[in-house]
């Protein structure tokens, strides 16, 4: 059976390059699964969990923070601002991240700083929710 050649890249390095049966990407308009032969698509990515399927099983999971996905019939490339293997992230880390973002928000002096802090906080909350949801599955 044909496979999707999947790549997950961060600005600093390439995290994963593999052949997968299916990839589920958390798009900003909803999750979408990519199978071989998918229509060409460019989408933004929301903070959430990305799954790489081999057969019927999610072999690898990643927490991703924002970015883009480019899909062609043969390939799927995800450009993530930040991506971490799911197993390496503990709920405590994410809670800590949320607290740090909250502190930033209270300390923010200018409007621009406040906006960034708010965005960071939203990202941290999304991540925590996504993590809790997937961890229970």
Partner 1 sequence: MPSLKTFRLRIRSVQSTQKITKAMKMVAAAKLRRAQEQATAARPYAEAMDKILASLGASFKGGTGPRLLAGTGSDKVHLVIVATGDRGLCGGFNSTIVREARRMIRSLLAEGKTVKIFAVGRKGRDQLRRDFGPMIVDTMTDLGRPRLSFGDAQKVAGRVMEMFEAGEFDVATVVFNRFKSAMTQIVTAQQLIPPPAPEASAAAPAAAGGAVYEFEPDEGEILADLLPRNLTVQIFRVLLENAASFYGSQMTAMDNASRNAGDVIKKLTLQMNRSRQASITKELIEIISGAEAI
Q: Which residues bind partner 1 (CB under 8 A)?
A: 7, 9-14, 27-29, 39-44, 68, 70, 72-74, 77, 79, 81, 112
Look at residue 107 and give its three-state secondary structure: helix
Please say which residue, 79 or 135, places its beta carbon nearer to partner 1: 79
Please say which residue, 74 or 132, places its beta carbon nearer to partner 1: 74
**Minimum CB separation from partner 1 for residue 82, in Å?**
9
**Minimum CB separation from partner 1 for residue 39, in Å?**
6
Please say which residue, 11 or 92, places its beta carbon nearer to partner 1: 11
**Minimum CB separation from partner 1 for residue 55, in Å?**
27
Please say which residue, 92 or 111, places its beta carbon nearer to partner 1: 111
**Angle formed by the axes of helices 91-107 and 111-135, nearest 10°:** 160
List, as one string, the DSSP characters of 51-72.
EEEETTEEEEEEEEEEEEEEE-
CA 13 to chain centre: 15
Phi, psi of 73 (to 5 degrees): -55, -30
**Minimum CB separation from partner 1 for residue 70, in Å?**
5
Task: Report which secondary-structure segment, H or E, holds 33.
Answer: strand 30-34
């Amino acid at each position: 059976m044909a496979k999707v050649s999947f790549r997950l890249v961060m600005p600093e390095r390439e995290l994963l390059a593999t052949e997968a049966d299916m990839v589920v990407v958390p798009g900003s308009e909803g999750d979408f699964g990519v199978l071989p032969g998918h229509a060409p698509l460019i989408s933004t990515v929301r903070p959430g969990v990305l799954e790489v399927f081999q057969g019927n099983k999610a072999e690898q999971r990643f927490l991703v923070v924002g970015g883009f996905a480019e899909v062609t019939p043969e390939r799927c490339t995800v450009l993530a601002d930040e991506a971490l293997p799911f197993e390496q992230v503990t709920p405590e880390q994410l809670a800590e991240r949320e607290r740090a973002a909250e502190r930033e928000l209270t300390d923010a002096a200018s409007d621009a700083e406040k906006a960034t802090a708010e965005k960071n906080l939203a990202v941290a909350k999304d991540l925590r929710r996504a993590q809790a949801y997937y961890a229970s599955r």
